[in-house]
Amino acid sequence: MTNVIYMAPLDPPPEDNTPVSLVYLLGHQSHEAAPASREAFRNDSEWKKVAVDSQV
């Protein structure tokens, strides 16, 4: 899995503190490899810790 680009809206943040979106594009070795890459990422112990710490 390769990080291709990260994007965020250019609009000012909402006044009601609604979370701002983050859009990202990931590249995979092939269409068939994508599900396994995503699953490996979801199960990564470091990612799980970061997700809990950042409240994702």
**Predicted pLDDT of residue 48:** 93
Q: What is the pLDDT of residue 56?
A: 61
Indicate the number of domains in the chain: 1
- C-alpha to C-alpha distance for 40 and 29, rounded to whole angstroms: 14
- Within a domain: residue 24? yes
User: Residue 44: inside a domain, yes or no?
Assistant: no
Each residue's pLDDT tens digit, 1-56: 999 999 988 887 778 877 778 899 999 999 999 999 999 999 999 999 998 998 86
- Tell me the C-alpha distance between 50 and 33, whole Å: 24
User: Quick one: pLDDT at residue 20?
Assistant: 79
3-class DSSP state for residue 9?
Answer: coil
**Does a structural domain hold residue 55?**
no
Measure the CA–CA gap between 48 and 31, rounded to whole angstroms: 25
What are the distances in angstroms from CA 16 to CA 12, 13, 20, 22? 12, 9, 11, 18
Residue 3 resides in a domain: yes
Q: Which two tokens stand for residue 21?
A: 């979106």
Is 4 domain-assigned? yes
Residue 42 lies in a domain: no
- Structural domain for 29, as ranges: 1-9+20-36
